[in-house]
Structure 1
């Protein structure tokens, strides 16, 4: 078994936004990004194609709700074996949030860098 974590590629960047329609117009009409299909999340989110398999995920904040870190600013990298990643993180003593499935079936796991920034590792 390979004991080395291997990142396949940057997958997406996620940004928390205040108004989904204002941001939709800005990213589509000003920056000319193409909006792409978004899985059926239980909160407002829109995705844009950044080219070469990269995406921008815009996540609307709900002011009446408490800030949710994993739905905030983060970047995601694709991995080939999320279960291996989980074992690897355990072996290294790194804290992470349990593997979960997005509405589109992609498996994801979140961890923090030393400054508390969220990093998503995902398996398609």
Structure 2
């Protein structure tokens, strides 16, 4: 199979600005070039790669979650990320992978998409 890496995830959203702001403010993704596709949306970038495509769909399908359980990103600065989640009132679950010690932080975006952020084991535990 010729797959070498993940290219992007696509999420459906009801509110484009709220969704883009959420991923910009929390994950540091930036909105960038998106070709005219004939429907509203945005591409959010991590560096030079468009890793998250947002497509407007009103209303969102029910149930909101499909067969994709979650999207995961490698991340840094666990303590500050948890602080941002708490400031925004976003509920989250934080745990450690038993074998590797990797920190795993789970939460939902404004549209119900489940997001995982993975932090290296040497990150300091957040103060709660």
* TM-score of the pair, normalised by structure 2: 0.41
**Structure with a larger share of its residues in strand:** 1
Larger RCO (alpha carbons 8 Å, 6+ apart): 1
* TM-score of the pair, normalised by structure 1: 0.43
